[in-house]
Amino acid sequence: MAPRCQAAWWPKTRNSRGGAKAGPEHGSTLASSVVARIEEVISGTRLPNPNSSSWPLLPMTTNNTVPAADETLLPGLRFRLIHVFYAMTLLGAALATFGAAGLPLAVPILGFWASVFFSRSRPRALARGCLVVLICFCLISLLLPAVQTARESARRAQCANNLKQLAYALHNYHSDHGVFPPAFVPDRDGRPTHSWRVLLLPYVEEKSRYDKYNFNEPWDGPNNSRLLNPVPWVYACPSDRRAVRGTSLWTSYVAVVGPRTAWPGASARKMSEITDGTASTILVMEDQSTNIPWMDPRDLTLDEALGILTSPDRQFASPHRREDFFYEYSGGRYVATADGRVSYQFYGLPRDVWSALLTIDDGVATSELDWTVGADDWKRPKVGNFYRLAVFVLLTLLPLPWVWRKPKPAEMQAQDIDA
């Protein structure tokens, strides 16, 4: 038979026969005492005392003994909540510092600290874990820079190849028509209607799109606007940061339009008109500073191009910027000259050098140009990443002082139960 358990709900008074009876007249005082004790326990300022006669809600067994209270309940609850808070903070710091790649980094760190604190010897577990982390860090530090460098090199090579294909297409167009394509085809009122990039479609493996294009309506007409997306691969540089290739409408390559450039406008230019030499005259250059749809009959004027190429804002003037976690590097841009060659021009060339490269009749030959004057490569620290990394490292090392703290007997018992 199970032992009976009664609760001392009311203080006891003596009746006329000497027995005990409940005193309802003391109910309000007792209720206030109960409410006060409950509030103290919930707030954590006071724990139940089994030896106190003032605690009226503790059950009593048949032999009038009160079972011992679990004094570690609330501290244990606070301990677990602290761990949850630490885990959420570390995950947030990892996402803020490394983006989505921070999750695979933060989860092993949490597992590492869990294995340390639930082990019999925390210092030994810490030493073993640090050795494993050191080995993994060495492997990652050796492989990751090589992967990042390979990716950027592949993107730059593809960007240069796109310009090479455009140079070949322009030469093939010149072979078929005797002239380079005009910068734009005007309508009856002289307004630009169709771009040279559309005229070049049959020469860049886009014959089917060229056949669907309607020259009787503007480039953004109801029929032609359906051909905008996706942008032909030859007009999109993989390093273009405005959008991923295939989801952007912008062209990464533009012509420089002007009476003294290779693109006079609505009229076409012959190869023989380039008196400075084809090797020192730019046909097409890379640009990511202007949002020009690839079918838009709009390019850069000579003054606009010179302003971009000599801009004091290095990010604005350099489409190709190599970067790592701590620093951002700026290089330059690719250009295609009239002889079909593609070259990489560093940031910092003087204005007169760019002007000589963009014009066809300034009388300056390639041998007379010093393409290295003022050209430089710069490195700028990412201050925000330094701060975020410092916070992440601080949170990672935050549990370290508790490794040498001896666990209490109640914590050791909880570890044995969990094991």
How much is the average pLDDT of 280-294? 89
- Identify the residue with better confidence: 280 or 270: 270
Residue 286: exposed, middle, or buried by beta-carbon count in 10 A (0-12, 13-18, 19+)?
A: buried
Say yes or no to pLDDT of 294 above 90. yes
Q: Is residue 186 part of a domain?
A: yes
Domain assignment of residue 1, yes or no: no
pLDDT tens-digit series, residues 10-27: 444 444 444 444 444 444
pLDDT at 298: 93
Most confident region among 146-155, 335-344, 396-405 by mean pLDDT: 335-344
Does 327 or 258 have the greater pLDDT score? 258
**Amino acid, single-letter form, for residue 47:** L
Q: Are residues 191 and 311 in the same domain?
A: yes
The radius of gyration of the chain's CA atoms, rounded to the nearest angstrom, is 39
94 lies in which domain range?
74-117+392-418
Within a domain: 141:
no
pTM of the model: 0.60
How does the average pLDDT of the chain come out, rounded?
75
pLDDT at 398: 87
Which of 333, 131, 143 lies closest to 239, judged by CA? 333
pLDDT beyond 70 at 257: yes
Label residue 2 by pLDDT band (50, 70, 90). Answer: very low
pLDDT digits (tens, 9 = 90+) for 109-133: 888 888 888 787 888 888 888 887 7
Spell out the residues 6+ positions from residue 250 whose beta carbon is closer than 8 angstroms to its own. Answer: 231, 240, 242, 243, 288, 291, 292, 293, 294
pLDDT at position 66: 44
Q: Name the E strands within 8-163.
A: 12-14, 20-22, 59-60
Residues 279 and 363 in one domain: yes
The reported pLDDT for the residue numbered 93 is 87
Q: Is 129 contained in some domain? A: no
Is residue 35 located within the same domain as residue 110? no
Q: Which has more pLDDT, 397 or 368?
A: 397
Would residue 145 count as lying in a domain? no
In this structure, the answer to whether residues 81 and 193 fall within a common structural domain is: no
Which of 335, 325, 300 has its CA nearest to residue 384?
325
Please, which pLDDT band fits residue 74 given cuts at 50, 70 and 90?
A: very low
Residue 97 within a domain: yes
Strand blocks (E) in 162-304: 184-186, 192-195, 253-254, 256-257, 282-286, 300-301
- Check whether 263 has a pLDDT greater than 60: yes
Instruction: Give 377's pLDDT tier (boundaries 50, 70, 90).
Output: low
Residue 364 placed within a domain: yes
Residues 203 and 299 in one domain: yes
Residue 391's nearest CA partner among 112, 90, 101 is 90
Which two structure tokens, joined as six digits, stand for 23? 């005193």
pLDDT beyond 60 at 297: yes
Work out how many domains the chain is built from and give that number. 3
Q: Are residues 282 and 404 in the same domain?
A: no
Do 217 and 170 sit in the same domain of this protein?
A: yes
Per-residue pLDDT, 53: 46
- Kindly state the average pLDDT of the residues 367-389: 69
Given 29, 49, 69, which residue is the final one in a domain? Answer: 69
Q: Is residue 373 located within the same domain as residue 260?
A: yes
Which pLDDT score, from 0 to 100, does residue 171 have? Answer: 94
Residues 99 and 10 in one domain: no
The answer on 37 and 88 residing in a single domain is no
Does 385 have pLDDT greater than 70?
A: yes
| pLDDT range class, residue 308, cuts 50, 70, 90 | confident
Whole-number pLDDT of residue 365:
62
Let me know whether 375 and 353 are in one domain.
Answer: yes
Percentage of residues in the chain having pLDDT higher than 70: 67
Residue-by-residue DSSP string for 341-372: -EEEEETT--HHHHHHHH-SSS---GGG--TT
Q: Are residues 162 and 59 in the same domain?
A: no
Asked if the model's pLDDT at residue 195 lies above 70, the reply is yes
Q: Residues 236, 206: contact at Cβ < 8 Å? A: no
Domain contains 283:
yes
What is the pLDDT at residue 312? 74
